[in-house]
């Protein structure tokens, strides 16, 4: 494994960082103040991202993407992670890789419009009674001739308010397994405006202002069989195949935010004076900086290793869980220490630190809680010895 960046990777990192600082940072304060995304701003950012070759960079070249390998893509995500999440997700959108699992007709209807910035997608799995336990979902789809009838509720569905369609995972039956009955899951494309499908406002939240969540209601929502993504009862297989790197994406964006917080802290510690000297000369501050840098580097290495192994085809669930767990918990630590170094100023909205601190909290919950990641890691260790 090489620890240095290639020339191409360096160029992508530099280009993305410059774009984030020039095109995204100036809009952060307004979004934080209002919690609202100005779609005129988003369309302007979107246009500039396309011109810079940064839009939909996660997708393969054959569908119009940048064709980045996983490791390079994570470096790109890290730079985007420096900015307000809602701003970089919508303005420099990355259509979900799961769209690649569609048929040619589905790609024409859903994937390619997303690649062109004409549509946005969203994923609907979580329910009020089924968060970490997705097999416990109660929303159902039953077959009725050539159609399927969907009923139930999804919630915490990110950016569903601006999405043009949702990829919804519904229970479509039960199968017997050695560990007892388990629900079969099927994925469906559901267009906004379909009768029986309603998108309602979700909950106010402390993290990622402007990045909204919604409640999806299905009331005898009728869909044709052509709306199925993948195969009937094979929804988890589709998700596991095409959504595997999302934990690494979370890890990478956490690295970017932590690096930004650390840099602010280093500069402040070098400039701020108390008791006749720079506060960075006091061990109470300098040791904090050292610990922040240590934790950040450890998270970086775990994330880059997992990305590299993903490209080699040798990555394990544990590798990805370790990266996600370490990076999200590292960000919480670094953000908190950054505010402590800055004192009262760290909590003022003149700096991005209070935002980074607030945003850090959700990272240990979505895409699998810290407890779920620890379960995955320990389960893999125990299975290796027959446990």
Catalytic residues: 367
Q: What SS3 state is found at 94?
A: coil
Identify whether the C-beta of residue 172 lies closer than 8 Å to the C-beta of residue 142.
Answer: yes
Query: Side-chain half-sphere of 5: how many Cα atoms within 13 Å?
Result: 14
List, in sequence order, every residue forming a beta bridge with 185; answer none if it has no partner: 171, 234
DSSP codes joined into one string, 142-164:
EEETTEEEEEEEEEEEETTTT-S
DSSP codes joined into one string, 244-266:
TTHHHHHHHHHHHHHHHHHHHHH
Query: Side-chain half-sphere of 313: how many Cα atoms within 13 Å?
Result: 0
Planar angle of CA 106, 109, 110, nearest 5 degrees: 80
Please report how the helices 246-271 and 70-80 are oriented relative to each other, as an axis angle in degrees rounded to 10: 50
List, in sequence order, every residue forming a beta bridge with 122; answer none if it has no partner: 166
DSSP codes joined into one string, 335-365:
HHHHHHHHGGGGGSTTSSHHHHHHHHHHHTT
Burial of 7 from C-beta contacts in 10 A (0-12 / 13-18 / 19+): exposed
Planar angle of CA 312, 318, 320, nearest 5 degrees: 60
| Torsion sign over Cα 274, 275, 281, 286 | negative
Which is nearest to 342 in space by CA: 275, 268, 266, 271?
Answer: 268
Lookup: tokens for 298 = 């450890």
For residues 292 and 342, give the distance between their C-alpha atoms in angstroms, rounded to a whole number: 14
For residues 156 and 95, give the distance between their C-alpha atoms in angstroms, rounded to a whole number: 19
Lookup: tokens for 81 = 């992670």
Measured in whole angstroms, the distance separating CA 48 from the mean position of its chain's CA atoms is 22
Identify whether the C-beta of residue 327 lies closer than 8 Å to the C-beta of residue 256.
Answer: no
């Amino acid at each position: 494994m090489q620890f240095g960046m290639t020339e191409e990777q360096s160029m992508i990192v530099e280009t993305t960082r410059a774009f984030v600082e020039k095109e995204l940072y100036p809009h952060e304060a307004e979004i934080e103040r209002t919690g609202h995304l100005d779609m005129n701003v988003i369309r302007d950012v979107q246009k500039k991202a396309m011109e810079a070759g940064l839009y939909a960079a996660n997708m393969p070249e054959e569908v119009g993407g940048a064709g980045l390998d996983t490791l390079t893509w994570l470096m790109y995500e890290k730079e985007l992670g420096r900015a307000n999440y809602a701003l970089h997700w919508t303005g420099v959108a990355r259509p979900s890789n799961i769209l690649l699992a569609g048929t040619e007709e589905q790609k024409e209807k859903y994937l390619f419009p997303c690649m062109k910035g004409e549509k946005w997608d969203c994923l609907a799995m979580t329910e009020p009674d089924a968060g970490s336990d997705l097999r416990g979902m109660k929303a159902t789809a039953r077959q009725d001739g050539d159609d399927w009838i969907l009923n139930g509720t999804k919630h915490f569905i990110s950016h569903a308010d601006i999405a043009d369609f949702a990829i919804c995972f519904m229970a479509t039956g039960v199968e017997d397994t050695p560990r007892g009955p388990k629900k079969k899951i099927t994925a469906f494309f559901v267009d906004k405006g379909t009768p029986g499908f309603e998108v309602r406002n979700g909950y106010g939240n402390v993290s990622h202002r402007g990045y909204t969540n919604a409640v999806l209601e299905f009331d005898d929502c009728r869909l044709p069989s052509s709306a199925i993504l993948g195969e009937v009862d094979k929804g988890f297989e589709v998700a596991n195949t095409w959504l595997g790197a999302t934990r690494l994406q979370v890890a990478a964006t956490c690295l970017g935010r932590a690096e930004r917080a650390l840099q602010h802290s280093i500069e402040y510690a070098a400039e701020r004076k108390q008791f006749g000297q720079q506060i960075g000369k006091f061990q109470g501050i300098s040791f904090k900086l050292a610990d922040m840098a240590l934790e950040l580097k450890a998270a970086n290495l775990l994330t880059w290793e997992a990305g590299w192994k993903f490209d080699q085809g040798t990555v394990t669930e544990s590798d990805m869980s370790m990266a996600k767990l370490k990076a999200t918990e590292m960000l919480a630590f670094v953000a908190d220490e950054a505010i402590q170094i800055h004192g009262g100023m760290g909590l003022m909205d003149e700096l991005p630190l209070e935002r980074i601190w607030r945003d850090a909290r959700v990272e240990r919950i979505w895409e699998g809680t810290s407890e779920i990641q620890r379960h995955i890691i320990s389960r893999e260790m125990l299975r290796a010895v027959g446990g």
